[in-house]
Structure 1
Amino acid sequence: MPKSKLVQRVLSLTDDDLQALCEAADAAILDGGGFGWVQPQGRQVLERYFKGLLLVPERMLFVVRLKGEIVGCAQLVRAPRNNECQAMCITLMHLFVAPYARNRGLGSALLREVENAARSMGFRVMNMDVPDTQTAAISLFQKAGFEHWGTHPHFARMGDQTVSGLFFTKLLDTVRSAPVEPSFSPQVETPDMIASSPASSRPLTLYPAIDLKDGACVRLRRGEMDDATVYSDDPAAQAKAWCDAGFKWLHAVDLNGAFAGQSANAPAVQAILKAATVPMQLGGGLRDMKAISSWLEAGVTRVILGSVAVKNPALVKEACRAFPGRIVAGIDARSGHVATEGWAEVSDMQATELALRMQEAGVASIIFTEISRDGMLDGLDIEQTVTLANTVSVPVIASGGVGNLDHLAALRKAAEDAPGIEGVIVGRALYDGRVSPAEALKVLA
């Protein structure tokens, strides 16, 4: 595999990855170069730190692996929404490689891929600072073309000593830099070790769609309720079938509820929750805190807020504060303009504008659907999806139009340059048998 794939942006951490990352951070702190901490903070503190970091819309976490295990990381931090004059700038923070994994070129690989990610998201300036005690890091940044523009004489306090801090900046050109080839020693990195590393930068999540109308599983064409195909009158059995097929998430929408403004398929949703063995996200008709909290308490992992995101953004903020990491914004658009009320109304607001507002509100992710393609099997709107993913820092889930494996492969390829793309929702193509679960999961891996 290309060695540059040892570096990846992560949107979630498995228990094993979290443990490895905490161990690497502990080692870096003890070595004098980690996060501003002088002494190790204990596993619980580090776990809370990294879990919380993933919930912050303005922060992006990148990791580097050795033999499949995380041994270092870096963060990109974008300016807050109200700092428009510095929207072209991004800050690099807390880049480190654990002492036991150094001298293999991993730091250079991590830095280069983080730069490429920032460049692909449209940032033009990267800034960073570092204590003058971290000579290896300073050398790394200078070799990578960062310009030292200033020194703070009282930058940090380490024990009884005050140390200076060096400030660096770099203009990011518009051409993606070539991946760094880490200088692995044959005695250290064998072919067997490389084979055990991740096969791709990050697998995309496939969310099988369970759209509910009058208690049955259906699929609409272009969001028209009068143009629905019924695929199953037993949503719970369908949910279990998708779980058994290997999918890690379910995506359910109460279509009647989306039009009515309140839940209308509660018995079907409850049956799905009882049958499912994987997490589920639910949308459709969730317009107040009572509805949101009741479904989250009932076992739904994440709720999707669509029309209310446009008409009552204050509710989205309130929900994000009450249930961090469990609120998803559903942005449905016709030709780039946001649609509401079950796609029955089209507003003047651009999808990217709403996405930025939802990011500021604190949503965990964004589902983007181009309605004109939904259920038509003609392919996703890759261009709009990439634009949206590169506009915001929260994960983006693509939806609308998947008809074959080539469409999934196109999204997988697009995600290499738009790391914010986290997954894809597939409906009719799965129900019609045009895409098999096993083949789809393989393409997105």
Structure 2
Amino acid sequence: MILFPAIDIRNGKCVRLIQGDYKQETIYSEFPTETAQKWESKQATFIHIVDLDGAKTGESINKNAIQAIAEATTIPVQVGGGIRSLDIIETYIAAGVDRVIIGTAAIQDKAFLSAAVEKYGDKIAVSIDARTGFVATDGWTQTSTIKAIDLVKELEALGVKTIVYTDILKDGMMQGPNFTELQAVNEATTMDVIASGGVSSTEDISKLRSLDLYGAIIGKALYDGTLNLEKLMEADEHAN
């Protein structure tokens, strides 16, 4: 299972939000590129980046900061937040981004999603952000009437290979992921499932691994020191 350190960027800075609430922000670094290089030095094998401004506005506001990270690191990076056009996907991939994550547009513009998957294949992932089992959009500010599990099946039919599944009520709360929902999603699809939201202990990671998930994104627990990435990576190496 791949462990993805998360770098959430807002106003060019590395931050964390609680449950996606833009009013509950903690700034961890003024320099996201240095943060990415730090995670790489601590044996990360893949980095997860979110443009929080982009997720809310639909514009890739932190594009320059994200391009700088892709250029300054040697490990793969995946990027989400405000990805609403083929042009921005092309910009990111040309800059060295390995996977681009489509969120709101996957719900609101199926033609765009289909075109992206057709053109870029497994370089496209979709973020499913759910609140009480229903899909949320627009930087988590809106909750739709679409059931997450129904969207999973629709995405697989479209040819999507990877999804990032976030339980918003768990995000930033340090209370563990929604294992029941993650298991249901993973069992409902052959797509690779990346868990996001609430990962805060080695027990959480062990349980996610037992569910046979493709990956897990770790955010707040790494930044406040609850989890140590180097120790997690070493433990993973010994387990294999």
TM-score (norm 2): 0.96
Distance in 1 of aligned mates of 2:160 and 2:93: 15
The match for 1:241 is: 38
Give the Å deviation of 1:413. 2.1
The structure with the largest helix share of the pair is 2
Distance in 2 of aligned mates of 1:440 and 1:407: 12
- Whether the aligned pair in 2 keeps the contact of 1:404 and 1:435 (CA below 8 Å) is yes
**Matched letter for residue 74 of structure 2:** T
Match among 250, 261, 281 for residue 78 of structure 2: 281
Matched, 1:219 2:16: yes
Match among 181, 192, 199 for residue 402 of structure 1: 199
The match for 1:339 is: 136
- Whether the aligned pair in 2 keeps the contact of 1:319 and 1:327 (CA below 8 Å) is yes
Distance in 2 of aligned mates of 1:366 and 1:299: 20
Give the Å deviation of 1:410. 1.6
Residue identity (%): 38
**Matched letter for residue 231 of structure 1:** Y
The match for 1:414 is: 211
Distance in 1 of aligned mates of 2:59 and 2:226: 33
Distance in 2 of aligned mates of 1:281 and 1:361: 20
Q: Deviations over 1:336-355 (max 9, x none)?
A: 10000000000011111111
The match for 2:171 is: 374
The match for 1:323 is: 120
Give the Å deviation of 1:414. 2.4
Tell me: CA distance 1:387–1:442, structure 2 relative to 1, closer, same or farther (3 Å). Answer: farther
- Whether the aligned pair in 2 keeps the contact of 1:408 and 1:443 (CA below 8 Å) is no
The match for 1:193 is: none
Give the Å deviation of 1:364. 2.2
Tell me: CA distance 1:443–1:379, structure 2 relative to 1, closer, same or farther (3 Å). Answer: farther
Give the Å deviation of 1:315. 1.0
Q: Deviations over 1:404-434 (max 9, x none)?
A: 211111212222xxxxx10100000001110
Distance in 1 of aligned mates of 2:208 and 2:235: 10
* Structure 1, gaps ≥5 residues long: 1-203, 416-420
Q: Deviations over 1:177-229 (max 9, x none)?
A: xxxxxxxxxxxxxxxxxxxxxxxxxxx10000000000010111001011011
The match for 1:431 is: 223
Q: Deviations over 1:99-138 (max 9, x none)?
A: xxxxxxxxxxxxxxxxxxxxxxxxxxxxxxxxxxxxxxxx
**Matched letter for residue 220 of structure 1:** L
Regions of 4+ moved over 3 Å? 442-445
Distance in 2 of aligned mates of 1:294 and 1:437: 30
Distance in 2 of aligned mates of 1:412 and 1:393: 16
- Whether the aligned pair in 2 keeps the contact of 1:405 and 1:443 (CA below 8 Å) is no
Give the Å deviation of 1:250. 0.6
The match for 1:160 is: none
Q: Looking at CA atoms only, which structure, 1 or 2, has the larger radius of gyration?
A: 1
Match among 290, 301, 307 for residue 98 of structure 2: 301
For residues 16-415 of structure 1, what are the structure 2 equivalents within 5 Å? 204-415=1-212
Question: Equivalent residue of 2:9, what SS?
Answer: strand
**Matched letter for residue 226 of structure 2:** R
Matched, 1:440 2:232: yes
Distance in 2 of aligned mates of 1:334 and 1:210: 22
Question: Equivalent residue of 1:324, what SS?
Answer: helix
- Whether the aligned pair in 2 keeps the contact of 1:240 and 1:277 (CA below 8 Å) is no
- Whether the aligned pair in 2 keeps the contact of 1:334 and 1:371 (CA below 8 Å) is yes
Give the Å deviation of 1:443. 4.7
TM-score (norm 1): 0.52
Q: Deviations over 1:369-392 (max 9, x none)?
A: 000000111001111011001101
- Whether the aligned pair in 1 keeps the contact of 2:71 and 2:95 (CA below 8 Å) is no
- Whether the aligned pair in 1 keeps the contact of 2:196 and 2:218 (CA below 8 Å) is yes
